[in-house]
Amino acid sequence: MPALNFAISDDLTKLEIAVLDHLARTVRPGFCPSREELSRAAGLGGRGYRINKLLESLEEKDYVRVAPGRFRAITLLRTLDGRRFSFDTLWAPLIGQIVASRPLPSAGQLDNPFAGEAIELTRGLVRGRDDVYALRVAGDSMIDALVNDGDIIILTSASEVHNGDMVAARVTGDDGQESTTLKYFYRENGHVRLQPANPATLPLPPYHPSRVAIQGKVMLVIRQVG
C-alpha cells in the first residue's frame, strides 16, 4: 500500500510525535496506555519525569487532556496532523490520483496536488479498518460501476483479493515501465485480467501475475455531484 503521509503539525517535537503516534494506535474506548508504556514508545525507558513533562507540553498545546491523580486518564484530543480525534471517525489521507482508463505511468502521480488533504469517515463505513487512504479518480472506464471522473475512492491495503474486487493495480509493461490503473480484478488461466466497467473502453491484455501488484482494494466510492 502507498505510504500514508499526513502533514504533521510543526509545533510538535520528535518525542511528542512518538507519544501521540503511540496514543493514536493504542487508545480504545475505556483503555489508555500507561505512562510507562508511553515512555518506552518515546524511547525514554521508564523515566517517569520525562514522560510527565511531555504530557504537560502536549496538554498545553491542546493535543491531550490529562486527569490529575489518575494512572491511565489521558484523553487524546487531536492527532499528529492537528485534526480532532474521535473513536467514531477516522481521516483517510488523499494521497493522489488514479487513472480509471488505460494505465498511465505512475511517475506523474508522485507530485501529489492533494498533499495535506484528508477525508473524514465514520469507522463503520470502512468496517473498523485504520489502514485506509483516498485517491481521486481520473477517467471514465469504471462508469458502469458508478465510479466517475472526479469521484474519490477509499481503499484499504489488501493482503488478499478475490475475483470481482475493484482494485488499484500497479502494472509492469513489456518495456519495464510501471503504470497504475483502477479496474476489476480476475484470476484466469494462470493470468490476471484487469477488467474495465465501460463497454466503450478497450479491454486490457491479460498479465502474468508477477507483473501486477495490488496497491489497494476499493471499499467505498464518494460521488462528486455537480
Active-site choice (39, 101, 179, 183): 183
Measured distance CA(119)–CA(96) in Å, rounded = 12
What b-and-e string marks burial along 21-41, b requiring 16 or more CB atoms within 10 Å of the CB? Answer: ebbeeebeeeebbebebbbbb
User: How many residues are present in the chain?
Assistant: 226
141 is catalytic: yes
Catalytic residue among 141, 159, 210, 217: 141
Distance (Å, whole) CA 58 – CA 9:
12
Active site residue 179: no
Write out the DSSP string of 68-102: TT-TT-EEE-B-TTSPBP-SSEEEEEEEEEEESSS
- Known catalytic residues? 141, 183
